[in-house]
Structure 1
C-alpha cells in the first residue's frame, strides 16, 4: 500500500485552515487599526470601530441575541456562558448533558469548587438529550443548563426548541456550545437559548478568538478577574484583528449554502467506506446531525491504531471517544459510552470531518486507502488474539 500522493485532511472538526479572505482582512486591520481599542484617541477609536463592526457581523450571521463579547475561543465562551450565568442569575445548580465537550465539563468542575452543584443528564443511543430526565432534574430548582448543540464526537444536533421550552418553564437558563454547528447548521432553533459560544478556527477564522453571544435579559457575572473590557466579562487587551477575522469567517459561512455542500461531501465519504466495509456502524443521529462530521465504530479495529496508520498514508482523521476511554480506566468517558456503547466498541471509534476545501477527488483517493487499512488492521489484530 503506497502513501497517498497528496495529503488529505479529514479532521475539520478539530480545526479548519484559515480562509484567504480572513487572512487579508486581518493583515489590513493589523496595519490600519493597530491601536488599543480602550485608548481614548484616534488610534483607539479606529480599533474600536473595527470591534463594533465585527460584533454586528457576528450577530447578523447568527440572526439573534442582543450583544457579543469576544473571547479567546469557544472554551472561554462556554465558561462564561455557563458558569457566568449561574453566578449572575444566582443559581446554585448547573445541569449539563452527559456528552458535553471537555470545555463545558471543565466549567462544571470549577462550578463545583465554587459550591455550585452539578448534575449530568443522560442521552439516548443516538446522543439525543433525555428530555424526561432533563425535566425531572429541572424540577429541583432553577439552574444554568449547558448543552452542546452538535456533538463534537458523533455529530448529533440536539432538539433545542424542546430543550429551551423545558428550561425556561422552570425559570432556568440555557447555554449552547455552537463550536461544531455555527456556520454549518441553521440557527433557527438554536436562537431559543439564552447564551451561545462560538469558535473562530472551526469556520476558517483564526485560532485564539471566539465569541459569546448573549440574550437581551441574561445576567452574567465574570468567573475570572481582570479589567473592564467586554462589559467586564472578559478581560485583557482586545484582539482586534482576531475579532475582525472571526467576523469575516462568520459572514463567509452561510449555513444555507454551506450545509448542503458539506453534507454531500460527507455522504460521499460515508458511502465510499461502507461499500467496502459493510459492517461499519455509523454513530449519532442519522437525520439531525452536523453535516460535516462522519463518526463510526469499526468493529475489530482500535480507533487510535486506525488513525495512526492513516496518518502514515497522508490521511488526517481522529478518534471519537476512544482517546477519552483509554485515559479513563473505568471506561466511562466519551459520548459513545454515555450513549450506551460498550467499552470495546467505544475504543473502536473513528471520526472523519470534511470542509469546503475537501475535494471530491480527495475523497475518492482516500476512501480506498481507508478501507484497505481497515481490512489490513483487522488481520493484524486478529493474529494477535
Structure 2
C-alpha cells in the first residue's frame, strides 16, 4: 500500500503535466466559463498539494538518513524552491500584480509564525503541559529572520530613492547580495560548527569536540541517490504546473474581485500545507525542536531565497516590485516578531503562547478581507 501510494503521487503529477501541456492552452484560453476554470484550478491545486506531500515524505526520508539539522534543511529548501517557482511564474504571467511577492512572504510569516506555531504550541501544551526545545537554535533563526524581514518588507517604505514601496536598482542589487550572504553564513553555521544548536537538547551534545564521537552510521549512497531522485521526480511536475496554476489564480482573483493579497495567501497555503502538518505532528509528539526547525527554518529560507529571486526577476524584466507593506500589515509584522522573540526567550513553552499567536493569526485573516 505504501509503495503504491509513493508511486501514485508522481504518476498523477506527470499525467496532469502531460494533459496540461497538450490541452492546457485550449482549456484555459478557449473558454470563458467560470465553472470550468474553477474546476481546472481545483484540479491543479489538489494535485499540487498531494504531490507536495510526496515531496515532504521523500525529504523526511532523506532527513532520517542525513540526520539533523541537515535533514530539516533539505525539507525546508525543497518546499521553498516550490514557492519561489510559483511566485516567479505568477510574476512573469501577470505584469500587473506588483505586490504578489510581498503578499506571499507576508502570508508565510503570518501563517507560519502565528498560525502553525500557535496551533502547534496549543496542541503540544494541551497534551504535555510544558514542552522544551533547543533555545539556541530558535534564537539563531530569529536573529536571521528579524533583520531580513525588516530589510525586505519594512525598510522599502522609508527609502527616498523611490516614491513607493519599491527599491531602486542599486538598492535591489545590494539587498539581494546582503540577503544571500547572511543566509549563506547562517546555513554554514547551521550545518557546521553550530549544528548542535538545532537538535533536541537531550539528543546530541552541543560541543563540536564531543559531537565528533557521535558520528552517524555510514550512509547507504545508492538508497540516498534513489530517494533524492524521487524527490526531484515529485518537485518537477509542481514546477511545470506552476505556470498554469498562476494563470488560473490570476484570472480567478480578477473575475471575483477578491483582494490581491489572497493570491499570496493561496500560494503560501499551497506550498506550506504539508510542511505545516509535519510541524504540527512533531509538536503534538513532543518533538518541539523538530517543529520549531520546520517553522522557523521555512521562514528563514523563504526570506533568504525569495527576496533575491524576486529582485533578480525585477531587475531582469524591468517589472516593478513593491515590497513595502501597508501600515496595518507593518504593525502586525512588528507585533509578530516581538511576540516570537518573547515566545522563544525561554526553553519551555505552554498553551498560553500558542493562544496568543493564534489570536494574532485571527486578526491577520480578518484584515485581509476587511482592511
- Structure number having the greater strand percentage: 1
Higher relative contact order (CA 8 A, sep 6+): 2
- Structure number having the greater helix percentage: 2
